[in-house]
């Protein structure tokens, strides 16, 4: 049981994973959109998404040629919903989160995914 809790907190131990969760609270995104916003390698973003998915924070949904990632609407573990709902309390850097929010609302998958 304590291993499961450690896994949850370990999945949140990276600032980029926290940023991804905050972005996915705005809207579902694909890997290339997240990559474009965070300016990270696709493989790095994919690894972050894999960790968040394995912990139960996010789910994926196929949409044509894209795979959209979104906050898990029905996590098995109620602690996940609790953590998601209190992210703003735990994330201190409002400037980065606000900048990410602006980028999420502007990102155009048709242009960034065709690079």
115 residues of the chain, pLDDT tens digit each: 788 888 888 999 999 999 999 999 999 999 999 999 999 999 999 999 999 999 999 999 998 888 999 999 999 888 999 999 888 887 768 899 999 999 999 999 999 987 6
Report which DSSP code applies to 10: H
Cα angle value 95/97/101 (rounded, 5°): 115
Cα dihedral 27, 59, 48, 113 sign:
negative
Q: Which domains does the chain have, with CATH numbers?
A: 2-112 (1.10.10.10)
Q: Which residues pair with 68 in a beta bridge?
A: 61
Encoding tokens for residue 62?
């196929």
């Amino acid at each position: 049981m304590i291993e499961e809790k450690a896994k949850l907190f370990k999945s949140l131990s990276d600032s980029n994973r926290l940023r991804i969760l905050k972005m996915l609270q705005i809207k579902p995104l694909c890997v290339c959109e997240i990559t474009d916003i965070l300016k990270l390698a696709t493989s790095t973003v994919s690894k972050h998404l894999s960790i968040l998915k394995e912990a139960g924070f996010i789910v994926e949904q196929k949409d044509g040629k894209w795979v959209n990632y979104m906050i898990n609407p029905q996590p098995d573990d109620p602690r996940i919903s609790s953590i998601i709902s209190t992210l703003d309390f735990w994330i201190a850097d409002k400037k980065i989160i606000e900048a990410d929010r602006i980028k999420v609302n502007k990102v155009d998958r048709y242009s960034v995914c065709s690079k």
